[in-house]
Amino acid sequence: MQPTKWVRKQCITILAIVILLFLSDMAQAQVACMLTPVPLDKRVQLASLIIEAQLISQHTELGNHHLYTLNELEVYKVFRGELPPGKVVLSTTGGILGIRREEVSTTPLLTSGMQGVFLLTPSLEHPNTYELIAGPQGFIVYDTAAGSATEPFSSYKSIEREVYPALQARTGTKWRVVRPNAALTNQRARAARPTAAPVITSFSPATTTAGTGSVLTIQGSGFGSARGTGAVGFRNANVGGASYMNPLPTEYISWSDTEIRVRVSSAGAPGVAGTGSIQVRNNNGETGTSTTNLTIDYAIGNLTYNNDPYQAALVGTNPQGGYTLQYTNRFAASPAHLAFQRAQVLWQNGVGANWAAGPATAVNMPADDQVNIVGFDDAQELPAGVLGTAYTYYQGCFDGTGNLHWVLSGTDYIFDEEQVWNFASAAPGSSQNDFESVALHELGHGLLLGHIIQPGAVMHFQLQTGTTARTLSPKNDLAGATAEINYSLSAVSCSFTAYTLAPAISLPVTLTHFSATPTWDGAQLRWRTATEVNSKAFIIESTAAPHLSAGWQEVTRISAQGNSLEPHIYTWHDPQALTRQRYYRLRLLDLDDTWQYSTVAVCEPLPPPITLQAYPNPASRHVQVNIPPATDGVLRLYDLTGRLMRTLKVPDNQSTLDLELIEQPGLYLLEWTSSGQSKHIRLLKQ
């Protein structure tokens, strides 16, 4: 029996939980990692069971081309609803089964020991289990050491003074205690007694990357002679640094009372290490925080297996050494596919991301089925508040020495069709979500990049409604994707992959020059190609926006040569007057309608034209001369033979020229010069 659309919606709501804190997540603004806020009032209203609980065990099952993880919860408090007989089990889409793995970019990675408030509804996909309301927004994550909590769009400094009252006010009832929460009791006891907190005096390096094996050395005092239950905390990039994430136990290299060496993690709990202060918690639960920030330029998402982190490799699953993406039929008929294609080309031209375009497909459900689809959620509904989701599927294999390797075997990209989207290359309106920016971000997850905390970067955890993030940052986005591709080119490929990864071949027009020169009546564009193979046209785009990623409009199209091994020069004149700075770029269109962008040419308006006036003209005695402003200007009067008749320095904007000393009536040439500029007019003496 086929599940109903509502059932699938609930299933995908789960799907928006298991990996949110791993590869892609959100933050505290209007749109955080492809989420929009669902108010707590609404989430409480939709939830039939609201509990404070700890995740105590997990196991994964395979069903309907997806992996599902069943998370057993130990309940401490009930804020709404009745507990079922037996266990409370949360079902989430994704997980690990043997050496097969599935992740969803808007789903939190849940690990044993995590605590928080779960807002739940019964799962129709898995009987006798629950799923989260509004995906990742259905889990308020506790930091039991600090007594605080976070969710995608909010943070709570105190669990007892902020989280509990907020829930009680919305449920209208006092919570019921099922069993004591020892972690919170211990936290209160630690907070009540004086402690000697750890002190961080320095750390190095100051700038690094996450998920690449980089090691951070922290120096100070009060760390404790052994780690025990202690931990290093990195700002969690999945929530914009509102909370800390802790590395896996195997990522600690050494721990002493004065020095800690630890790998900068992208696979710990509950997220990815990001830019910000670092924290040390010793075995007694005391914490110390650095006074300076660690900068993390990029993060590469890691997988965990037996509590060890692994960097996965991109592989070639098609003959071109990359991945073939196929639009669903409805997506292909929508302007969304053009915005997605622009995002795809940016990654392709930026780092050689190898995505080939396949034919449209009738398949419209995301699944680990060897078909990499790009589409709307017309076959199922994404969870409330989720704009778009990247599904990533992995396969593991062992080499001849028994070492485990992971590869990305496929991806799906699904977007919420009912959102208010901007599909155009122009800037979005204040109430629109920019589709190209969202697609660019999700494709970054498809390149195995995790979140960072760097406003303006594509992989920054947050994108506000009405704004764009379409420029790949060389230091962050491009550097991270390049590192992943370079790793993949040298990594061991699993035997089931038929092809070897190859960077995408750049599109076949070799552009050697592009410029835009201002003129008095617009701008003159000029470009030169060295070779052209299957070139179709040059699309000239222009914008006056201060940010180059916004406001681009197509101006005209110029036919290309098609195929030529000879250099060619193209020119085009834009008749639109330049009243302010204007930017131009070329979209180099191929015969198969793929394209790449040129560099951007900037055109500045010319200064106002120089004018020179003399009156009266004709004149017999005195002439008033209006000249351009200048401090070193000179007026000269010549007769028609070129003989100099008068010279007059003119420091002011207006000067008087005496013609009484010029005896011969006739036609003369009046010249003004200043700083290499000159202007001429004819003057008739009577």
CATH class of 199-311: mainly beta
**For 122-174, how does the pLDDT look when each residue is reduced to its tens digit (9 = 90+)?**
997 788 999 999 888 999 999 988 899 999 888 999 999 999 999 999 999 99
Give residue 508's pLDDT: 63
Candidate ranges 239-243, 250-254, 270-274; pick with highest mean pLDDT: 250-254
**For 311-322, how does the pLDDT look when each residue is reduced to its tens digit (9 = 90+)?**
999 998 988 889
Question: Quick one: which of 106, 85, 81 has its CA closest to 14?
Answer: 106
Give residue 23's pLDDT: 29
CATH class of 613-685: mainly beta
Same-fold call for 327-419+435-490 versus 510-603: no
Question: Quick one: which of 451, 501, 412, 406 has its CA closest to 301?
Answer: 451
Euclidean distance between CA atoms 235 and 104, whole angstroms: 22
359: CB partners within 8 A, 6+ apart: 326
Higher pLDDT among residues 566 and 212, named by residue: 212
**For 617-640, how does the pLDDT look when each residue is reduced to its tens digit (9 = 90+)?**
888 777 777 776 655 678 788 887
Question: What is the topology classification, in CATH, of domain 327-419+435-490?
Answer: Collagenase (Catalytic Domain) (3.40.390)
Q: What percent of the chain has pLDDT over 90?
A: 50
63: CB partners within 8 A, 6+ apart: none
209: CB partners within 8 A, 6+ apart: 264, 296, 297, 298, 299, 300, 480, 483
Question: Quick one: which of 116, 141, 114, 130 has its CA closest to 56?
Answer: 114
- pLDDT band at residue 548, thresholds of 50, 70 and 90? very low
Higher pLDDT among residues 7 and 340, named by residue: 340
Q: What is the mean pLDDT of residues 228-245?
A: 92
Structural tokens at position 636: 């000269």
Question: Residue 13 pLDDT > 50, yes or no?
Answer: no
Question: Quick one: which of 90, 28, 19, 13 has its CA closest to 57?
Answer: 90
Give residue 673's pLDDT: 79
Largest CA distance in the chain: 120
Q: Please state, rounded to an integer, the average pLDDT across all residues of the chain.
A: 85
Residues 510-603: name the CATH superfamily.
Immunoglobulins (2.60.40.10)
Question: Residue 28 pLDDT > 60, yes or no?
Answer: no
All structural domains of the chain with their residue ranges: 5-192, 199-311, 327-419+435-490, 510-603, 613-685
529: CB partners within 8 A, 6+ apart: 509, 510, 511, 512, 535, 561, 564, 567, 568, 570
Give residue 646's pLDDT: 77
Q: Torsion angle of alpha carbons 160, 161, 163, 165, nearest 10°?
A: 110
DSSP 228: T
Give residue 652's pLDDT: 54
Question: Residue 685 pLDDT > 80, yes or no?
Answer: no
Give residue 344's pLDDT: 86
